[in-house]
Structure 1
Amino acid sequence: MKSARVRPVWQAALCTAVFSMTWSNFAGAALVGRDLGGSAAFDAYYDTELDITWLADANYAKTSGAVPDGYMTHAEALAWTAGLSVHGVGGWRLPSVAPVNGVAYQPEFSLDGSTDFGFALTGEGWGTASELGHLFYVTLGNTGYLDAPSTCADPCALQHTAPFANFQSHAYWSGSPVPDAYSPSVWILETWSGRQSPIGPDALIHAWAVHDGDVAAIPEPESAALLLVGLAALAGRSLHRKRSAK
């Protein structure tokens, strides 16, 4: 019986890279699949426009068993993301909301994303100021509730969720508090309607973990160990060849 063949580290990395690019090219989107667990399934998606990585499961707190119903207060959501480890990758956080004008939050209600409170336009969102808003309106191409066709079935706003699993038609926390004058409250995105708004931190809603940069560039402990072993083997082979040549 033949023994199982173990692929060199560089071959495994190459296969992972090719598999990741296949999704990106096929989808024609700014999301590149990342297989963190080596199971030939995407655990996360790298957002090339925002330079962050989204968990593939938009309700991972529930499906992982960490939070039975997936609903958390803001403090609980912060604690969950801070302590999260996915196949050895830590450093997760909640999505951020920065002022759309780049200076200060504008709490006035608008229908076109010109202020921080209200709805935005499909394909525009709040630019890159709102990570959740950009994903919802730009990357996935969803439409705010007020602009949705009157003939569409509820939820009219959240029509496009692929390639993510368990995308909730409710609301998601950001990690960004509203300024002191409006505290205590935190920015959220209502995914059932597309509205970005402030809400009290004790509300019970969903949390979605994101990671700065591309997690594919962060070696898992096991991968790092294998890489070191491979490098040591190469160094040993080179030294053996030099000695044999003398």
Structure 2
Amino acid sequence: MPFVDSGYGLIYDRELNLTWLKDANYAKTVGRSPNGGMTWYEAMSWVAGLGYCGVRGWRLPSAFNLDGSGPCIGDNCTNNELGRLLTTAKDVSAVNFPDPFSTIYWTATEASDEFVYGFKLAGLKQGKVEKAADTPVNVFVFLAWPVHDGDVAAEIEKRLSTAVFRSLALMFFRFHRSVPDKAVAAIKIDDGVETPVWTCIPQRQ
């Protein structure tokens, strides 16, 4: 199986070495907007600043074909990152999946100064849409599905191991040397992220 549920709310593509959030509308889940919708500019900014389990470096998927050609325009665009996820990850189910007929996902691939490629779930259709889309008059909801290069679950495991080690060391030194509270507060594993690494639980659904 090329796709596996790697825990921590993540889907891992072993062949392309990519990690996706299992939550297909994470922006809605964390309250970024009521329905998760945003313009391309907002989506690019949100994904670039996203911290998930203490891990940053997320991006929007590419519209180009996996071999670098394209981008595909029209129906059945299955040979790009998002199309592959939707058609190949049959044994791994996403959660919080939106209405396919009213949802378009942003890609990071620009077509011009004003247009970018969007991916419509219904028909796996890819085409050019305005970067400033997702206005109140729009019939579609434009969402962001963050993807990350590499195995994020492995990075989380590494960070958790470090966090546990530091916590145990901190407890040891507090017990033996009476470390002041202000010194304890100054020791941090991560800072300024939406979901710190120690809040992540390796659950598989």
TM-score by length of 2: 0.68
Q: Which residue of 1 aligns with 2:7?
A: 35
Q: Which residue identity lines up with residue 73 of structure 2 in the other structure?
A: F
Q: Which residue of 2 aligns with 1:217?
A: 154
For 1:222 and 1:99, the matched residues in 2 are separated by 35
Aligned length: 159
Q: Which residue identity lines up with residue 196 of structure 1 in the other structure?
A: Q
Deviates more, 1:86-95 or 1:131-140: 131-140
Cα deviation, residue 207, structure 1: 0.6
For 1:131 and 1:35, the matched residues in 2 are separated by 20
Q: Which residue of 2 aligns with 1:177?
A: 110
Q: Which residue identity lines up with residue 217 of structure 1 in the other structure?
A: A
Q: Which residue of 1 aligns with 2:44?
A: 78
Q: Which residue of 1 aligns with 2:194?
A: none
Query: Of 78, 91, 116, which aligns to 1:186?
Result: 116
Q: Is the 8 A contact 1:120 1:137 kept in 2?
A: no
Matched, 1:118 2:51: no
SS at match of 2:143: coil
RMSD: 2.6
Q: Which residue of 1 aligns with 2:138?
A: none
Q: Which residue of 2 aligns with 1:113?
A: none
TM-score by length of 1: 0.57
For 2:105 and 2:14, the matched residues in 1 are separated by 21
Q: Which residue of 1 aligns with 2:133?
A: 203
For 1:119 and 1:62, the matched residues in 2 are separated by 27
Q: Which residue of 2 aligns with 1:65?
A: 31
Structure 1 pair 102–90 and aligned structure 2 pair: CA distance change class (3 A): closer
Unaligned runs of 5+ in 1: 1-28, 37-42, 107-115, 141-160, 232-246
Cα deviation, residue 82, structure 1: 1.1
Cα deviation, residue 46, structure 1: 0.6
Q: Which residue of 1 aligns with 2:182?
A: none
Cα deviation, residue 47, structure 1: 1.1
Q: Which residue identity lines up with residue 50 of structure 2 in the other structure?
A: L
Q: Which residue of 1 aligns with 2:189?
A: none
Q: Is the 8 A contact 1:81 1:94 kept in 2?
A: yes
Q: Which has the larger radius of gyration?
A: 1
> % of aligned pairs identical?
37
SS at match of 1:88: coil
Query: Of 163, 166, 173, which aligns to 2:96?
Result: 166
The C-alpha deviation readout for 1:43-101, integer Å capped at 9, x for no partner, is 11111122110101000100111222110100110111111112212211111122567
Unaligned runs of 5+ in 2: 135-141, 170-205
